[in-house]
Amino acid sequence: MATGISGVRRSATVVVGGGPAGLATAACLRRVDREAVVLESTARLGDHWRGHYDRLHLHTARTHSHLPGMRFPRAYGPWVARDDMAAYLDDYARHHRLDVRTGVTATSLRPGLEGGWHVATSHGELQARSVVIATGHNRRARLPAWPGADGFAGVVVHASVYREPAPFRGRRVLVIGGGNSGAEIAVDLVEGGAERVLLALRSPPQLLPRQWLGVPVQVLGIGVGLLPTRLGDPLVRALQRLTVPDLAPQGLGRPRHGVASHLAAGGTVPVLDVGLVAAVRAGAVTPVAAVESFGRHSVRLIDGAEHDIDAVIAATGYETGLGDLVGDLGVLGADGLPSAGAGNGSAPRGLHFVGFHPTIGGHLREIGREAARTAKLIAAGPDVVPDTRTR
């Protein structure tokens, strides 16, 4: 690994992003004898992972979450911890002898007049045969501008800066957002001694156990992903009724839509339970309606209820930030994600995206599959049009 961009050949593929998607793609390119240079904006591989909250573990199983060509060490346990994931990425790059340039930020792209790409970076400009964008979903924290939030006397932070519950001990905390991060942070706050924890939700989350009868529920997700939604939804719904108790008396009803159809319609992946169900049943976490506005020391919800609170942790998601890189190339949808026609081998030719495809079979597993497909397309040449039916 090195800093800077000297010595990069024009025939190389430039991979933007040194997270799991970028490293997996570079490793797969080595397998097909293609040169790749990975640009990573942070000082060390894995720094994005090290910045997550302390208790974070992968919600998918170690055995089904490794990247192509290198498994996780068995010593990491069944659910890989945050720091172990960061170390794995560093080890992965060394194992595959990847050319990673840390501390280098790609700022914009433009197609070359005679093919290829010009990549503007914080260290100068590169010319590349092809470019892979692998910066992921979580490039930029999304913090809504709620009415009255500027006048709130307490603390408002995004989940991306939350680390551990000690600063919130003895305080009344509102967590906004019911995805995997919001659910786990709410449990962390309870276990860390918060006086009261509210969880604000727009709609009930799709809850599933992390494992059932000793089997990671991810395995079911892999199978469901192969089925049409008319079959996948009832199958997952049956599992939910078997494994997730009725929490309607505690204010957490069941979703109206099935997991597979919800995801297909642009929704989020299910919440794999690591303690939220038990905390809600015990009254330690109180589900409430979505936020409407803030007062000086309180929050008002869309159902008219008002609660006194001391702090807010907004698990309100992220934006890709892809507009900065490729916003003028016509390859993004209204949501900022690569559009349906901008998958692997997208037009303009030679521009590829890896790591933006949601799945209920595990994001890291899907990354590996996308990386392998992308490497084959790049090796086949810029004139090859991908068969999108494989997605």
Q: What is the pLDDT at residue 42?
A: 95
d(C-alpha 369, C-alpha 354), whole Å: 10
d(C-alpha 271, C-alpha 184), whole Å: 9
Is the pLDDT assigned to residue 334 strictly greater than 90? no
Domain residues for the domain of 89 are 2-139+320-390
Question: What average pLDDT does this structure show over 354-367?
Answer: 90
Is the pLDDT assigned to residue 391 strictly greater than 50? no
Please provide the average confidence, as pLDDT, over all residues in the chain.
90
Q: What is the pLDDT at residue 388?
A: 36
Question: What average pLDDT does this structure show over 20-40?
Answer: 96
d(C-alpha 56, C-alpha 185), whole Å: 9
d(C-alpha 363, C-alpha 194), whole Å: 32
Question: What average pLDDT does this structure show over 156-185?
Answer: 96
Percent of the chain with pLDDT over 90: 72
CB atoms within 10 A of CB 113: 7
Is the pLDDT assigned to residue 233 strictly greater than 60? yes
Which range (37-41, 54-58, 332-336) has the least confidence? 332-336
d(C-alpha 85, C-alpha 66), whole Å: 10
Domain boundary residue, one of 314, 348, 377: 314
Which range (19-33, 92-106, 217-231) has the least confidence? 217-231
Candidate ranges 3-7, 205-209, 267-271, 276-280; pick with highest mean pLDDT: 276-280
Question: What average pLDDT does this structure show over 5-22?
Answer: 87
Task: Give Cα 119 to chain centroid, integer Å.
Answer: 25
The torsion defined by the Cα of 318, 324, 329 and 331, in degrees rounded to 10, comes to -10
Domain boundary residue, one of 314, 333, 363: 314
Indicate if 184 and 149 belong to the same structural domain: yes
Residues 180, 217 contacting (CB under 8 angstroms): no
Token couple for 383: 């004139």
Banded model confidence at residue 368, pLDDT cuts 50, 70, 90: very high
Domain boundary residue, one of 265, 295, 314: 314
Beta bridge partner(s), residue 333:
none
d(C-alpha 205, C-alpha 252), whole Å: 8
Residue 167 neighbours by CB under 8 Å, 6+ apart = none
**Spatial CA neighbour of 79 closest among 187, 201, 216, 213:** 216
Q: What is the pLDDT at residue 293?
A: 98
Q: How many domains does the chain have?
A: 2
Question: What average pLDDT does this structure show over 223-242?
Answer: 89
Indicate if 75 and 36 belong to the same structural domain: yes
Residues 169, 193 contacting (CB under 8 angstroms): yes
Each residue of 243-291: pLDDT tens digit?
999 999 999 999 888 888 888 776 678 999 999 999 999 999 999 999 9
3-state secondary structure of 122: coil
Start-to-end CA span in the chain (Å): 32
CATH number at residue 152: 3.50.50.60
Is the pLDDT assigned to residue 347 strictly greater than 80? no
Q: What are phi and psi of 2, to 5 degrees?
A: -145, 170
Indicate if 297 and 338 belong to the same structural domain: no
Q: Which residue has the higher pLDDT, 359 or 304?
A: 304
Is the pLDDT assigned to residue 336 strictly greater than 90? no
d(C-alpha 53, C-alpha 70), whole Å: 26
Indicate if 32 and 157 belong to the same structural domain: no
Q: What is the pLDDT at residue 6?
A: 74
Which range (233-237, 244-248, 340-344) has the least confidence? 340-344
Residues 94, 69 contacting (CB under 8 angstroms): no
Q: What global pTM score does this model have?
A: 0.91
Q: Around 138, how many Cα atoms within 13 Å sit in the side-chain half-sphere? A: 17
Banded model confidence at residue 324, pLDDT cuts 50, 70, 90: confident
Question: What average pLDDT does this structure show over 119-138?
Answer: 93
Angle, vertex CA 388, rays to CA 382 and CA 391, nearest 5: 120
Alpha-carbon distances, residue 185 vs 55, 188, 197, 199 (angstroms): 9, 5, 10, 10
Each residue of 107-125: pLDDT tens digit?
999 998 778 899 999 999 9
d(C-alpha 220, C-alpha 241), whole Å: 15
d(C-alpha 299, C-alpha 31), whole Å: 54
Place of tokens 């060390």: 44
Is the pLDDT assigned to residue 387 strictly greater than 50? no
Task: Give Cα 72 to chain centroid, integer Å.
Answer: 19
Token couple for 232: 């996948």
Indicate if 99 and 239 belong to the same structural domain: no
Indicate if 164 and 286 belong to the same structural domain: yes
Residues 119, 106 contacting (CB under 8 angstroms): yes
Indicate if 166 and 120 belong to the same structural domain: no
Which range (65-79, 220-234, 298-312) has the least confidence? 220-234
Q: What are phi and psi of 207, to 5 degrees?
A: -90, 135
Banded model confidence at residue 337, pLDDT cuts 50, 70, 90: confident
Indicate if 274 and 163 belong to the same structural domain: yes
Is the pLDDT assigned to residue 173 strictly greater than 80? yes
Indicate if 334 and 295 belong to the same structural domain: no
Each residue of 291-319: pLDDT tens digit?
999 999 999 999 999 999 999 999 999 98
Is the pLDDT assigned to residue 341 strictly greater than 60? no
Residues 224, 260 contacting (CB under 8 angstroms): yes
Banded model confidence at residue 340, pLDDT cuts 50, 70, 90: low
Indicate if 150 and 197 belong to the same structural domain: yes
Is the pLDDT assigned to residue 359 strictly greater than 80? yes
Banded model confidence at residue 381, pLDDT cuts 50, 70, 90: confident
Indicate if 81 and 212 belong to the same structural domain: no
Indicate if 243 and 224 belong to the same structural domain: yes
Q: What is the pLDDT at residue 1?
A: 75
Question: What average pLDDT does this structure show over 201-216?
Answer: 92
Residues 2, 102 contacting (CB under 8 angstroms): yes
